[in-house]
Structure 1
Amino acid sequence: MQKRVIVIMGAAGVGKTSICSYIGKKFGIPQVITHTTRAMREGEVDGKDYYFETPSSFKEKHFLESVTYAGNSYGSSIEGLNRAWEQSDLVVTVLDTKGGITYKEELGDQAWLWYVTISDQGKLVERLHQRGDGDEAVEKRISSPEFKRDLALPAVLKGKAEVLVNDDWESLKLQVDGLINDYESNARLS
């Protein structure tokens, strides 16, 4: 079976991390741990949620892709992807759309792109506050060009990504379950 990585993309606050956690818990799909220079949020664990880096330690990694988002660096290392693939042929990661483009370019069909959005994008600010981001952090994030870019699926990825609408968590879980169950059924047949 070909090794694949589910790449969950979308604007901040659409539920990418929640989907990733759900997939891990329900289906046992390991997460590719990515790196960031942003400050750790309450409840996050280094090496589980992210590898939390300093600007200098970040520069020492071997990245498949990396970006600067709202003043912080984020990246997915080749070593992290291979560590996840040692655990399972199907793994999951959370990236921005720029990272999704890079994964598709570098990995081809091994990158299974999922773009997450919500119908009322005005609710994203509320979601960012609910997850514990302060007013200044939220304002910085929503005014960033990266946030604005991720509000829409890039043209280059149209027709290459699953589009999931996260207006209702229970409905979204059904969409996710369907995608994973179809994948697993097809994998058993091949």
Structure 2
Amino acid sequence: MYELKDTEIIFVFTGPNGAGRRTVAQMSGSTLGIKQIVSYTTRPPRAIEVEGQDYYFITAEAFADAESKDEFIEVMEIDGYHYGIKESDVTTQLQKFGAVCLILNRYGADALKSVYGDRVVRICIYADRDTVMKREQQRGDSPEQIERYMSHYDEEMEYKDSCEHAFENIDLAHTVFDLTKTLDENYLHRNLLDLD
């Protein structure tokens, strides 16, 4: 297992599905030069998802093969689909960029925290139940998908207090500004932004 240097850090974006964690992570990461580590999954892509940007969509057989070779740091099963993060992806990107981010549920966030300890900073992006449901409807999720996602809402919200930071995502620009400022001031010290 790769041992992180003191200057290397992993930001994990978590929170309820539909709260905007992926969008916030991508916008903040782009501003701060943080590379996103993309997870692997056996589930089919949603209409709006892009291969290699949202997930690597692979077959159950390919996933099982990688798992048998201990390529994953963590593996989760959610609603019958498998998800995993490859250790080699994390190691390579950390050595290149010094800071990386991932978008994970609470179990994935805990798994990374248990492996890398204080070098993992968990950031909960959340919104109220009605806002989350409305966003899921707007992106074209089926009623069955929305029901499945919302069945995890309460447990994802309970995890908020375990995270190092939490941001309510009502106004995207405001959320990204506050988050970027927090990460730069507390962890990165890159002074990339004029925040006055």
Report the TM range for the smaller structure's normalisation: 0.7 to 0.9
Residue 128 in structure 1 maps to residue 136 in structure 2: yes
Q: Distance in 2 between matches of 1:60 and 1:3?
A: 30
2:65 is matched with which residue? 60
The letter for the 2-side match of 1:67 is M
The letter for the 1-side match of 2:9 is R
2:166 is matched with which residue? 163
Match of 2:54 among 46, 49, 53: 49
**Cα deviation digits, residues 79-103 of structure 1 (max 9, x gap):** 2211321330011100001111111
8 Å contact 2:74–2:84 — kept in the other structure? Answer: yes
User: Structure 1 length as normaliser, TM-score?
Assistant: 0.85
Shift of 1:184: 2.5
Residue 97 in structure 1 maps to residue 101 in structure 2: no
Q: Distance in 1 between matches of 2:96 and 2:118?
A: 20
Unmatched 5+ stretches in structure 1: none
Q: Distance in 1 between matches of 2:58 and 2:26?
A: 22
Shift of 1:186: 7.9
2:20 is matched with which residue? 15
Match of 2:150 among 142, 146, 151: 142
> Number of aligned pairs?
181
Unmatched 5+ stretches in structure 2: 1-5, 192-196
Q: Distance in 1 between matches of 2:120 and 2:188?
A: 16
The letter for the 2-side match of 1:86 is Q
Match of 1:40 among 42, 45, 58: 45
- Identity level (%): 24
For 1:153, what is the secondary structure of its paired residue?
helix
1:2 is matched with which residue? 7
Match of 1:153 among 153, 159, 164: 159
8 Å contact 1:70–1:141 — kept in the other structure? Answer: no
Root mean square deviation of aligned Cα: 2.0
Q: Distance in 2 between matches of 1:130 and 1:46?
A: 21
For 2:158, what is the secondary structure of its paired residue?
coil
For 1:2, what is the secondary structure of its paired residue?
coil
Match of 1:24 among 23, 29, 49: 29
The letter for the 2-side match of 1:100 is A
**Cα deviation digits, residues 86-142 of structure 1 (max 9, x gap):** 330011100001111111111011111111212x22221111122231222212222
Moved runs in structure 1, 4+ residues, more than 4 A? none
